[in-house]
Chains A and B, each alone.
Chain A
Amino acid sequence: MKASDKQAYLEEYELLKKKGKPFFPYAVMKDSVMALVVVGVIIAMSLLLGAEQGPKADPTTTTYVPRPEWYFFFLFELLRVIKPPELVPIATIGIPTICMVLLLLLPFYDKGPERRPERRPLATTAGILTILAMGYLTYAGATSGSPTEIDMKVAPQYKAGAEIVAGSGCLACHKLGENGNNGPGPELTHIGARIPRAAIIRSIEIGPSIMPSFRELPKEKLNELADFLSSLN
């Protein structure tokens, strides 16, 4: 922002201020209404939703599925979708730190004199994309189920395979009926109709794209797993 732009802004602002109304009581009136709304919402939430305690903290649990409070879902989801171990520090420390530094220094790299959002296409687009990304991550984090349960009806001969699927963490990346997470892997609900049994086995052994290889699975378990998956159509 050039010195002349700064001067122009201050002059314009001075004029706008001259045309304005005093803070008290005009702006304070709006603030008071808003304060009443805020406390009303908080009281209503407190009365309707209460403050139920969960089960007592237990470091020795083997069944609890930890999930954060909603305002950390975006971070939770970020940690969940970034799978390669080498990228873990980037997800935990790197991305949040970079975002915070970018946010903190915003006025020092965005120095243009224009303030109207429609005339700042770059800033406005970046802002909207950030909101959409945060919203999407929050939604995805909120709806991601535990990767250890399969609720769908399974014929008895495929029960063993279903348990291997549930127990191998497949649902961390794949959706299966009502369970699992939609992505990054493809949905498995009808996988048998789309891919032949041999291809399923090959995928599990090789681990195409970002999917990890499950080569270490014993042969018989791999067969049971493939039986179950190819029965899904």
Chain B
Amino acid sequence: MPKLSDLLVPAPLRNTPKPGEAGAPKTPAPQDLKSAPPERPTDLGRTGEKALEAPVEAMAWIDQRMAASGFLTGMLFRKVPKGTNWFYTLGSATLFAFIVQAVTGVFLAMFYTPSTTQAYSSIAHINNDVFLGQFVHGMHKWGASVMVILVFLHMGRTFFFGAYKYPRELNWVIGVVLLILTMTMAFTGYLLPFDQRSYWASIVGININGTGPIVGPYLSDFLRAGPELGATTLSRFYAIHMLLVPGAIIALIGAHLYLVVKLGTTAPPWTKADKPRVATPTSNLDAGVSGNGYRPDGAGPTIAGVQIDGHNGEGAPA
């Protein structure tokens, strides 16, 4: 198997081009096959090699045009700080739960009818008649609970590890907006099965919005598309649940992850950097930071070089 780093690096830049193929990569293949058809069985090894080479070539072709391999290697092989532990998987687990919701949601939408007269029976149809219908419906339903739990766990980790502090304040704000959007998804998804719980929970939820002074009553009318919960309310909730909020969530997850890569993930607050190998003269920052328990022993040379982007420290692991 080709190494992944090979896949990501364009062919001309690869470290060890295979002998005999570096100069003329593509043309010999058909010639070989034509000139010696009976030899094919013995040639299996070489065709196999070529078959393995094909995805690499394809990646190289794409990369020649996108020039993304630098970014991808930077992102994939950026260093995560010492001490990174299982608590740091909660964010990606939340993302994964969201992906489960997105995929199962798309397939549920193929069978669901957002109409007041048919919504209930279309869910019954999914549950009773569609192959694996109840299973996919169940994954979406319970995936919602799992996602809510993971969002809170992820937020709890960020809070107790002080990871929302400088320079990651903006990422915390984006995260809280994502929490609100997740709860909005949970709320709007409620109404869709159109059973008793759906109906009354939506009534109560809309009325909660209505208790806001002055704008509240109009907000309720907007959510319901009228003075009473009716046909348009369901399509409105459906559009919010599967177009508006997911779009916003995807965009914000993109921004959230961009900042994670850009700023790097935090280390657990207890992890301290060991004494560096080379002791250098202490800098004038000493006075400012010594009260913090921080030893700036090795800090001098790196002050100017401090970068907070994800490409820092990339490259082959030493």
**Given that A51-B141, A53-B123, A116-B270 are known contacts, is A13 also in contact with B162, CB under 8 Å in the complex?**
no
Say whether B288 faces chain A, with CB atoms less than 8 Å apart: yes
- A117 near B211 (CB under 8 angstroms)? no
Complexed CA–CA distance, A24 and B16 (Å) = 22
- For A39, the chain B residues whose CB sits under 8 A away are 96, 100
Complexed CA–CA distance, A111 and B289 (Å) = 16
Complexed CA–CA distance, A88 and B82 (Å) = 49
Q: What does DSSP make chain A's interface, helix, strand, loop or mixed?
A: helix
- B79 near A21 (CB under 8 angstroms)? yes
**Given that A23-B80, A30-B86, A56-B195 are known contacts, is A117 also in contact with B120, CB under 8 Å in the complex?**
no
Taking a contact as CB atoms closer than 8 A, the residue among B75, B120, B169, B267 that contacts A57 in the complex is B120
- B142 near A89 (CB under 8 angstroms)? no
- For B81, the chain A residues whose CB sits under 8 A away are 13, 16-17, 19-20
Say whether B84 faces chain A, with CB atoms less than 8 Å apart: yes
- B77 near A24 (CB under 8 angstroms)? yes
Say whether B303 faces chain A, with CB atoms less than 8 Å apart: yes
- A113 near B165 (CB under 8 angstroms)? yes
Chain A: interface residue count, which band?
A: 35 or more
Which residues 201-230 of B have a CB within 8 angstroms of A? 201, 203-204, 208, 211-213, 216, 229
Interface centre among A53, A68, A92 (most CB of B within 10 A): A53
- B165 near A111 (CB under 8 angstroms)? yes
**Given that A34-B89, A42-B100, A117-B160 are known contacts, is A10 also in contact with B308, CB under 8 Å in the complex?**
yes
Which residues 57-88 of A have a CB within 8 angstroms of B? 57-59, 61, 64, 66-72, 75, 79, 88
- For B127, the chain A residues whose CB sits under 8 A away are 51-53
- B313 near A23 (CB under 8 angstroms)? no
Chain B: interface residue count, which band?
A: 35 or more
- B134 near A64 (CB under 8 angstroms)? no
- A71 near B216 (CB under 8 angstroms)? no
Complexed CA–CA distance, A107 and B266 (Å) = 15
Complexed CA–CA distance, A88 and B150 (Å) = 31
Distance of B21 from chain A, by nearest CB (Å): 27
Distance of B178 from chain A, by nearest CB (Å): 11
Say whether A157 faces chain B, with CB atoms less than 8 Å apart: no
Residue of B nearest to A58 (CB): B196
- B288 near A2 (CB under 8 angstroms)? yes
Which residues 106-128 of A have a CB within 8 angstroms of B? 106-108, 110-117, 120, 123-124, 127
Taking a contact as CB atoms closer than 8 A, the residue among B78, B96, B165, B294 that contacts A12 in the complex is B294
- A15 near B273 (CB under 8 angstroms)? yes
Complexed CA–CA distance, A5 and B63 (Å) = 41
**Given that A10-B306, A53-B195, A55-B195 are known contacts, is A93 also in contact with B208, CB under 8 Å in the complex?**
yes
Distance of A14 from chain B, by nearest CB (Å): 6
- For B124, the chain A residues whose CB sits under 8 A away are 53
- A17 near B312 (CB under 8 angstroms)? yes
Complexed CA–CA distance, A45 and B135 (Å) = 10
- A107 near B169 (CB under 8 angstroms)? yes
Distance of B239 from chain A, by nearest CB (Å): 19
| Additional pairs, 15, CB under 8 Å, beyond known A46-B138, A51-B141 | A7-B285, A8-B292, A10-B167, A13-B267, A17-B312, A27-B84, A37-B93, A42-B142, A50-B134, A50-B138, A56-B196, A106-B159, A107-B173, A113-B165, A115-B269
